Chains A and B, each alone.
Chain A
Amino acid sequence: MRTIFRRAPFQRALGLAWVIPALALVGVFVYLPLVQNFGFSTLKWDIYSGSQEYVGLENYRKLIGDPVFWSSFGNNLLYAVVSIAFQVFGALLLAALVESIRSERWRRGLRAVYFIPSAISLTVAGLLFYFVYEPNLGLLNHALDAVGLGRFGQSWLGQGDTAMLAIIAMSQWQGFGYSTLLFAVAIQRIPSEIYGAAAIDGTGPIRRFVHVTVPLVREMTGLMMMVTISGAFQVFNEVMVMTGGGPDNSTQVLGTWLYRSGFVRNNFGYAAAIATVLFVITLGVAMAQLWVTRRRRVEW
């Protein structure tokens, strides 16, 4: 017993020594920048002279009165709501439909078809859809023309009332297949006996979906909702490529307004304040995700 007592502190110290390098790396590259960013958000920083003036919470006060910050926040929320509708509930429905197909070959084929857009990078997809939406040469206006709906053709990304929806639509196209695939995997994990029992009880496909599939994939549903919301607040690439936040800041999201505040308006302290708010939102969503996945675990 004495030997064990003597060796325990040594082993604890040894264990700590092993994790110190990893802790140091995470600390320097993850946590220190976060703290630093908060430090920057309390400064008025002139990148040209290098001078940094402490302004306390002034940047946060300015943020509250900034209409573009709030419209950006609103765009992120809209993004989240539409993404939940399509990439969570829509994808679940589609996955259930695909998985209900008897032919394995068709199931595999359809999964691949839906997944392909997700293999394209967002930047490339954004560029691709920029040309789809282009008012003169774009595929969408030409397609509308071809089916006699030319009067609905317009400059999709050039108008404040359609630009954000056009970007969100592209994003759904890009992310829909990935969510569908994840739901398909979750549905495949449901034991077939449960469906068999439901069939013996005389339940139709809709009731089977509502009373068997939906409850048994709730863990995945919860996870997908959190991932989707978190992703909606980290949107950047597609907006930058397709509109750059315009016209008249109508498609700004928090990420692009942060970028514009820093790199275009030279207000890096204010940009850091937006980054802090963005971090708090995504951290909150991540915490909620952890809580939800811990509480809604399905076991059989």
Chain B
Amino acid sequence: MSAPVIETRQFIAGYERDLPIVNGIDFTLAKGEFVAIFGPNGAGKSTFVKALAGVVPVFGGEAFLNGEPIGGLKPHAILKRGMAFVPQTENIFTTLSIHENLQLAAAPLVRSAQGPAIRRMLDMFPDLARQSGRLAGSLSGGQRQMLAVARALLLEPSVLVLDEPSAGLSPKLVSDVFSTLREISATGVTILLVEQNVRAALRIVERGVVLVDGRLRFDASAEALSSHPDLGALFLGADHASEGAA
């Protein structure tokens, strides 16, 4: 069997060295998997994926992408090795046009491959294609999320990592985004997703892991998690209550 797409061992990361937020995570993501990370606020979900992507300093442990160590690399180097990360907010350049956002994302490709890659994304997201000359800042919340995903997929990464893609979107848009993600997953792309929207996410992912206090607490199939009796207790307060709405 080939190496897992993502593998971390005793992974430690955060903003201050003496106050790590991610505190020793062992995690594996196999090729083709669709996995969600859940957990209460402050559990370290976002920090974990940001550290994987190179945006947050790594203080200890190891991280591998397709068997290659990536701990401490710069974001652009990690992207080059096959991990595309979509942050929760500010995930597109609002002062650049939609087309320019895609051109920027295509820049690491050889020149002849850039045009076709951009065209492939515009075909996939016709909504964006229709207004590709407009400034990305003029897009609606859902369209921005689509552009962010399109830009991330453009380089055909071996894994797509998203930080709360449903945050701030209306229920209708959340289900649009999720069904898009499911389609992408169906084409064989490995996806790792941080989500607060537990119930909706469990309907599309194959596996879920739960972080609490910077550590991995649960790791089970979506089915097992959905029917787990103590699960609710892990997603504290407001988060739990909001699930009904989603």
Bind each other: no
Q: Report B's interface with A, CB cutoff 8 A.
A: none
